[in-house]
Amino acid sequence: MHRVMSAAIFTLSLLIVSPLAAQEAPPPAVVITTSPNPVSPSPGYYQYELEDARERSRRVRIALISTSAAAAVGMIVGATAFRHCEFIYSSANQRDDLVCTQRGDALLAAGGTIFGLAAIGMITSGIMLGVRNKQKREIERDMRRHYYGGRLQWDIPSGRLVF
């Protein structure tokens, strides 16, 4: 009986409070933000960021060159494996086959693995180089905007040129 009574009181209180909660509260008079005021970075900051972006771009460029060289080594190792292999031509109803010695099998597996991993590295570092160069261009653009100010534009309402 006590549980039924408390459940009824709870339901009744929800029915009374819900129309009050549905009413819209007036918006606050003051908007409070937690973000700081935007501050224009100093020219030294831009120089530091640009040097850092150039260094990051240089490191990724070195990675791209290194993985390209590794892919070339993998191709050379794989190509030398074919000296230890023999291509067997079969008759019309059978398929052709490549028979390799033990050394040829090992070189072919090693060369293929090196080339495959290097190709993945080339693709990854190529994408990263594009992203790093884009970041470097954005910093250079921000520097130009900071040093030379805004662009000259025509303001339609005032009918004059503004910066």
Domains for the chain: give ranges and CATH numbers: 43-162 (1.10.287)
pTM recorded for the entire structure:
0.61
* Residue 152 tokens, joined: 């000259």
> How sure is the predictor about 31, in pLDDT bands with cuts at 50, 70 and 90?
low
Q: Who wins on pLDDT, 126 or 151?
A: 126
Buried b or exposed e, range 24-63, using 16+ CB within 10 angstroms: eeeeeeeeeeeeeeeeeeeeeebeebeeebeebbeebeeb
Q: Which pLDDT value is given to residue 52?
A: 93
Strand pairing partners for 160? 155
**E runs forming strands in the chain:** 85-88, 97-100, 153-155, 160-162
What pLDDT, on the 0 to 100 scale, is given for residue 159? 80
pLDDT tens-digit readout, 45-61:
888 999 999 999 999 99
Per-residue pLDDT tens digits for 79-119: 999 898 888 877 766 777 878 899 999 999 999 999 999 99
More confidently predicted of 99 and 77: 77
pLDDT band at 32 (very low <50, low <70, confident <90, very high): low
- Predicted local distance difference test score (pLDDT) of residue 8: 55
Looking only at the bridges linking them, the beta strands covering 160-162 and 153-155 are: antiparallel
pLDDT number for residue 142:
87
Q: What per-residue confidence (pLDDT) applies to 82? A: 86
pLDDT of residue 27: 56
Query: Looking at this protein, which amino acid is placed at residue 75?
Result: M
